[in-house]
């Protein structure tokens, strides 16, 4: 990353009224949460690809729920990284909306620690919530999914409240993110491969509505060509560097 690019991004943030952050699993990589794609990505294992697809909870509930319960434990053990904290603090400089594909809750934990109110829309749900596979009722999040608990209301099997590949996105989160895309001055793409639709269509909407697209990712992505400014770096290093360039810091 060059200092000039970092300074230019800080200037864009400084003059922006509305910022849409489009976040992916790379934002949490430096917390020790593996991504799906990229180096050491979980998707190098075909069995894990299968666990992320719609239908797995019906076909192999025991194996899937054990895997997701392991993921739930893992995210409780890890901590937000410097990228999460810097983003939480930066969000005080303009009207920020976060549309995240992450299911880990780490950004909210950083925002809480910084005493910051940050609207985060979960396009792909949250691992820390569980719900009924049959009736959708929310259930006690402290239940152990690997024990295959059932719904108090209808007896259906409980599941993590996340969106598997092939399932529909929650309308509310997507609509709120699409509205933010339509009015953002800046759209910040953090640690996302841009391959998962319809979520990955949000930066395109923002660009069409006139937003500057800024990508922070160590690797080229499907959305790179569309971006106005690119930093080939890690979010855990780049976001604190941008924050340090903000005149207010």
Chosen from Zn ion, ligand NAD, none, partner binding at 132 (C-beta under 5 to 8 Å by type): Zn ion
User: Distance between CA 76 and CA 72 in Å, rounded?
Assistant: 7
Residue 124 bears catalytic tag:
yes
47: which DSSP letter?
H
**Exposed e or buried b per residue across 1-40, where buried means at least 16 C-beta atoms within 10 angstroms of its C-beta:** beeebbebbbebbeebebbbbbbbbbbbbbbebbbbbbee
- In angstroms, how far is CA 59 from the centroid of its own chain? 27
Whole-Å CA distances, 173 to 46, 123, 177, 179, 237: 29, 6, 6, 10, 28
Other beta carbons within 10 angstroms of residue 47's beta carbon come to: 9
Q: Is 24 in the site for ligand NAD (CB under 6 A)?
A: yes
Contacting ligand NAD within 124-183 (CB under 6 A): 124
Chosen from ligand NAD, Zn ion, none, partner binding at 20 (C-beta under 5 to 8 Å by type): none
- Distance between start and end Cα atoms, the chain: 20
User: Which of 122, 215, 234, 243: binder of ligand NAD (CB under 6 A)?
Assistant: 234
Chosen from ligand NAD, Zn ion, none, partner binding at 91 (C-beta under 5 to 8 Å by type): none
Contacting ligand NAD within 190-219 (CB under 6 A): 191-193, 195-196, 216-219
User: Distance between CA 34 and CA 7 in Å, rounded?
Assistant: 30
Least distance to ligand NAD from the beta carbon of 121, Å? 13
Residue showing the smallest CB distance to ligand NAD in the complex: 26
User: Distance between CA 124 and CA 196 in Å, rounded?
Assistant: 10
Chosen from Zn ion, ligand NAD, none, partner binding at 35 (C-beta under 5 to 8 Å by type): ligand NAD
User: Which of 41, 149, 156, 233: binder of Zn ion (CB under 5 A)?
Assistant: 156
**Binding region for Zn ion (CB under 5 A) out of 68-76, 137-145, 163-171, 183-191:** 137-145
User: Distance between CA 192 and CA 157 in Å, rounded?
Assistant: 32
Other beta carbons within 10 angstroms of residue 140's beta carbon come to: 9
Q: Which is nearer to ligand NAD, 81 or 151 (CB)?
A: 81
Residues that bind Zn ion (CB under 5 A): 132, 134-135, 137, 151, 153-154, 156
> Using CB under 6 A as the criterion, which residues of the chain lie in contact with ligand NAD when the complex forms?
24-26, 28-30, 33, 35-38, 41, 101-104, 124, 191-193, 195-196, 216-219, 221, 234-236
Catalytic amino acids?
A: 124
């Amino acid at each position: 990353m060059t200092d000039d690019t970092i300074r230019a991004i800080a200037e864009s943030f400084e003059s922006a009224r509305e910022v849409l952050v489009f976040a992916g699993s790379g934002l949490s990589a430096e917390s020790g949460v593996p991504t799906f794609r990229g180096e050491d990505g979980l998707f190098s294992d075909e069995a894990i690809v299968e666990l992320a697809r719609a239908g797995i909870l019906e076909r192999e509930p025991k194996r899937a729920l054990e895997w997701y319960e392991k993921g739930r434990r893992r995210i409780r053990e890890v901590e937000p990284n410097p990228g999460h904290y810097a983003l939480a603090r930066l969000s005080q400089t303009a009207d920020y909306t976060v549309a995240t594909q992450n299911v880990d809750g780490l950004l909210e934990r950083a925002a809480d620690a910084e005493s910051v109110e940050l609207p985060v829309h979960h396009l792909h749900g949250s691992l820390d919530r569980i719900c009924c596979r049959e009736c959708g009722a929310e259930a006690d999040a402290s239940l152990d999914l690997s024990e295959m608990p059932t719904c108090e209301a209808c007896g259906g099997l409980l599941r993590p409240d996340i969106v598997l590949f092939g399932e529909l996105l929650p309308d509310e989160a997507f609509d709120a993110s699409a509205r933010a895309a339509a009015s953002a001055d800046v759209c910040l793409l953090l640690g996302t491969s841009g391959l998962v639709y319809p979520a990955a269509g949000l930066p395109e909407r923002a660009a069409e509505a006139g937003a500057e697209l800024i990508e922070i990712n160590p690797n080229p992505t499907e959305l790179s060509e569309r971006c106005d400014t690119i930093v080939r770096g890690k979010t855990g290093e780049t976001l604190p560097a941008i924050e340090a360039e903000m005149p207010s810091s």
